Amino acid sequence: MSLPIALTLVAALLAATVIAGVLLRRRDGRAVTVHGDRHVDPADLMRPLGAQATLVQFSTEFCARCPQVRRLLGSIAAERSGVVHAEVDLTSRADLAARYRVLSTPTTLVVDADGRIRSRFTGVPSPAAVLSALDGDHAAHA
């Protein structure tokens, strides 16, 4: 392969990687409304669902951003009556990653009292975004 062709291929791969990274970063921390009838099984959480909602956080032992999300969701659950925070460590429950379509951590599901998944966040959500999802005011759709 000639040098100009090799350099063109390297430049194209670099550009594609940067574009993919930018697109993925734009979705980080944003609520995505979940349509359909997807449910969370309380047995997977090893705790009952909240009377109003459950904030289900999927994390792993080596997730650098998961402690930040844990503190955020824990404080929201403490301030909101009927809202609980449940954390699932995928390190010991890898089977749940496929079941709930978790591709990266942290991933958070907002689940109603009946176990229906209403919203999901990938990455670190803002407090306002989580509160908006709890109130049913999310703008993004999936």
DSSP letters of 77-94? HHHSTTEEEEEEETTT-T
Rounded CA separation 97/84 (Å): 21
Can you give the residue ranges of every domain in the chain?
1-28, 31-135
| pLDDT at 41 (0 to 100) | 93
Mean pLDDT of 64-92: 96
| Beta-sheet pairing, 53-59 with 83-89 | parallel
pLDDT at 63 over 80: yes
Rounded CA separation 44/1 (Å): 53
Fold of 31-135: Glutaredoxin (3.40.30)
Residue 14 in tokens? 């670099």
Higher-pLDDT residue of 102, 25: 102
Higher-pLDDT residue of 126, 32: 126
CB half-sphere exposure, 114, CA atoms < 13 A: 4
pLDDT at 142 over 60: no
| pLDDT at 31 (0 to 100) | 66
| pLDDT at 9 (0 to 100) | 83
| pLDDT at 5 (0 to 100) | 85
Q: What's this model's pTM, rounded to 2 decimal places?
A: 0.76
Burial group, residue 109, by CB count within 10 angstroms (0-12, 13-18, 19+): buried
Rounded CA separation 96/42 (Å): 12
Residue holding tokens 């709930």?
100
Q: Which of 21-30, 45-54, 68-77, 112-121 has the lowest mean pLDDT?
A: 21-30
Q: Which of 5-9, 10-14, 39-43, 135-139 has the lowest mean pLDDT?
A: 135-139
